[in-house]
A = this chain, B = another copy of it.
Amino acid sequence: MRLKLDFNNMMEFRVGREKGISIKAIENMEDTARAIDKKLKEDRAGGRLQFMNLPDHEEVVNEIISLANEKAFTYENFLVIGIGGSTWGSIALHTALSHPYYNLLPKEKRGGRPRFFVIDNCDPDETAGLIDILDPEKTLINVVSKSGATPEPMANFMKYYDIMKNSIGEDYAEHFIITTDEGDGVLRKVAKEEGIRCLDIPKSVSGRFSVFSPVGLFPAAVLRIDIKELLAGARYMDEICNQSDVWQNPAYMFAVLEYLSITEKKYNISVLMPYSRKLRHIINWYIQLWAESLGKRKSRNNETINVGSTPLKAVGAADQHSLLQLFNEGPFDKIITFIKIEHYENEVEIPGLFSGYNELEYFSGHSLEELMKTEQVATQLALTNYNRPNKTIILPELNAFTMGELMYFYEIVTTVTGELFNVNAFDQPGVEEGKIFTYTLMGRKGFESRKKKIIDKLIEEKSFIL
């Protein structure tokens, strides 16, 4: 069940000297990789990389499974309210591991579990639409926010708090689970006052690295995903990525290839192209991880560097009919990473029909699984033939164990790439500016005049409107 990385098509001998990475260039990174390995092991031992230890927290897992079992069979609907790192993990796991039309299945085919909904925006049309279809009495709500202060989920929480209290009366607190920082934030205070059960996010784990904490695990457990298997996969990947030699460590190799692609080749776009619709939200989860961790103005030495690599999602085979033309023929500004599945859950035979029609008869004896795998190989061949560097993550199959591997792998890749760029991969200073503008415009106390001048200047009369 081991995830593998095939990077042949990144190399000079496949895509040519000008476009490919040389063996020499990787060899030149060997010492750097070893130094990073040493530093990360020290950081981890010193308690500074808590997210790497999340898969070991057995008592947390048992608490989550017991709470999930207590709640999962009582409700028709399970709603997660959050945004960004608070929701992408559970969305990703559900999409990868549940039935593709889960919410439309009859309850018995869902193993008696509730339907699943997520509100990760403050779009009024979305929230209003959800209110139309959810019966409060039959709904369990998990509010997920590390800080307890992020405007979008807090606004939705307040809306739903009001709805639940008005519809259900005294027992409303039973319908909520709050997942928030283990410290004494506002959401925990509210939870205590209201008698709402809390799950803890360890202090030093930031949102986008929190999928293996209650943030990702509790919703997964409610939805009958085997979270013990998930964590076993993460631990297995942790072992694999314990090697300090870049030639032995797939995560280090992945990071080095991304780094060289950006710095040496100026490929500023990194495409993620899974050949499975079920992985489309794992990619969205990874996009946040990658973009927010690495897109930084300052290095750790406080130099202005404006680094980062832009992640782009493409879903095979569908996006062969959308983005592939650009990938094959457009500017040489991107690398592509495929995710290839060796065995799909289903095969789906294509019936032999319409013989005599050259465009249709050749399907006879083939399956959709074969077609899908062939499309992946064909796209990879075409890209390579166009001298477009590409690599492939190979998954034996899609299950909780391999998803644990894949997500942990991506976390290590992102952390190591952060070290290569010498940026802090765990903060997000560039998001603060917009938040302060929002607070000022919404009239939050203490923010009245902070950005007033800039707002006035930029909202001044505009002439360039057509």
With beta carbons under 8 angstroms apart, the residue of B101, B372, B444 that contacts A122 is: B372
Interface contact A443-B362, CB-CB below 8 Å: yes
Tell me the bound Cα distance from A127 to B326 in angstroms: 28
Tell me the bound Cα distance from A277 to B129 in angstroms: 12
Tell me the bound Cα distance from A451 to B320 in angstroms: 19
Q: Which residues of chain A in 349-363 are interfacial with respect to chain B, using CB atoms and an 8 Å cutoff?
A: 350-351, 353-354, 357-363
Interface contact B359-A154, CB-CB below 8 Å: yes
Q: Contact string, A54-88, partner B, CB cutoff 8 A, digits 1/0? A: 00000000000000000000000000000111001
Main secondary structure of the interface of A (DSSP, over half): helix
Q: Contact string, A330-354, partner B, CB cutoff 8 A, digits 1/0? A: 1111100000000011111011011
**Residue in B closest to A328 when the chains form the complex, CB atoms:** B430
Q: Which stretch (A171-179, A209-217, A292-300) binds chain B?
A: A292-300
A52 contacts partner chain B, Cβ-Cβ < 8 Å:
no
A45 contacts partner chain B, Cβ-Cβ < 8 Å:
no
Interface contact B158-A354, CB-CB below 8 Å: yes
**Residue in B closest to A428 when the chains form the complex, CB atoms:** B325
Tell me the bound Cα distance from A291 to B439 in angstroms: 37
Q: Contact string, A156-193, partner B, CB cutoff 8 A, digits 1/0? A: 10110110000000000000000000000010011000
Interface contact A125-B446, CB-CB below 8 Å: no
Q: Which stretch (A30-38, A224-232, A379-387, A411-419) binds chain B?
A: A379-387
**Residue in B closest to A304 when the chains form the complex, CB atoms:** B329
Instruction: State how many angstroms separate the Cβ of A291 from the closest Cβ of chain B.
Output: 4
Known: A122-B375, A438-B378. A295 touches B329 (CB 8 A): yes
Interface contact A123-B372, CB-CB below 8 Å: yes
Tell me the bound Cα distance from A259 to B261 in angstroms: 26
Interface contact A385-B433, CB-CB below 8 Å: yes
Interface contact B312-A381, CB-CB below 8 Å: no
Known: A125-B278, A362-B445. A152 touches B371 (CB 8 A): yes
The tally of residues in A whose CB lies under 8 Å from a CB in B reads 156
Known: A101-B132, A127-B348, A377-B441. A122 touches B368 (CB 8 A): yes
Tell me the bound Cα distance from A8 to B332 in angstroms: 31
- Chain B contacts of A363 at CB under 8 A? 151, 154-155, 158, 442
- Chain B contacts of A328 at CB under 8 A? 295, 297, 430-431, 433-434
Q: Which stretch (A136-144, A195-203, A247-255, A400-408) binds chain B?
A: A247-255
With beta carbons under 8 angstroms apart, the residue of B276, B367, B381, B466 that contacts A248 is: B466
**Residue in B closest to A306 when the chains form the complex, CB atoms:** B331
With beta carbons under 8 angstroms apart, the residue of B120, B124, B434 that contacts A369 is: B124
Tell me the bound Cα distance from A368 to B4 in angstroms: 45
With beta carbons under 8 angstroms apart, the residue of B131, B133, B297, B446 that contacts A105 is: B133
A310 contacts partner chain B, Cβ-Cβ < 8 Å:
yes
- Chain B contacts of A276 at CB under 8 A? 123, 125
Of the candidates A9, A162, A310, A367, the one having the most CB atoms from chain B within 10 angstroms of its own CB is: A310
Interface contact B5-A291, CB-CB below 8 Å: no
A244 contacts partner chain B, Cβ-Cβ < 8 Å:
no
Interface contact A464-B100, CB-CB below 8 Å: no
Interface contact A377-B306, CB-CB below 8 Å: no
Interface contact A7-B371, CB-CB below 8 Å: no
Q: Contact string, A91-126, partner B, CB cutoff 8 A, digits 1/0? A: 000000001110111000100000000001111111
With beta carbons under 8 angstroms apart, the residue of B295, B326, B379, B466 that contacts A308 is: B326
A53 contacts partner chain B, Cβ-Cβ < 8 Å:
no
**What 9 pairs across the A-B complex have the smallest Cβ distances?**
A84-B321, A295-B326, A308-B330, A378-B437, A295-B330, A100-B129, A128-B346, A328-B430, A329-B430
17 A–B contacts from the bound complex (CB under 8 Å) = A4-B466, A7-B464, A83-B321, A85-B321, A100-B126, A100-B130, A124-B369, A158-B353, A158-B354, A291-B326, A295-B329, A297-B329, A310-B334, A320-B431, A374-B442, A375-B434, A382-B437
